[in-house]
Amino acid sequence: MNAQQSWPKLPPIQTGIKGRCPRCGEGKIFDGFLTLKPRCNHCGLDYSFADPADGPAFFVICFGCVPAVAFAIWLEIAFTAPYWVHLVTTLPLILLTCIPMLRPLKGWLVASQYFYKAEEGKLANADPEPSENQT
């Protein structure tokens, strides 16, 4: 692809959740379930900038696991459910609310990093000494 080509600004939510390249919206960003490809096969964007770290897991824990565990605690307190009931109800609930959300959330975070040009924080250099003419 032409390096000088101008790309439209695509919304991160649109490209990320679908697992598409944040620059062109065509190529796929995932090589496996959660493994990022080295670069886009359509526009050549290098994905080395992307580092969502534990962001997807944090959101899944907060919005998926916590309600599922709250359900398990309620089930235990309200009905004193045996272990097999938890195995049949709570385990599938936890798996279904956590695992499917990881990939779209990771894609959204990677696309957001590209869209907002996020990069590692750096300390600013100290101001240079003021010149003698300034008073």
Helix (H) or strand (E) holding 104: helix 83-115
pLDDT of residue 133: 64
Q: Is 45 helix (H, G, I), strand (E, B) or coil?
A: coil
Q: How confident is the model at residue 128 (pLDDT cuts 50, 70, 90)?
A: low
Give the per-residue pLDDT at 125. 77
Find the distance separating the first CA and the last CA of the chain, reported in whole Å: 55
pLDDT in tens, 60-95: 999 999 999 999 999 999 999 999 999 999 999 999
42-46, 69-73, 109-113, 130-134: least confident range: 130-134
Query: Tell me, what's the pLDDT at 130?
Result: 62
Q: Give residue limits of the domains in the chain.
A: 12-115
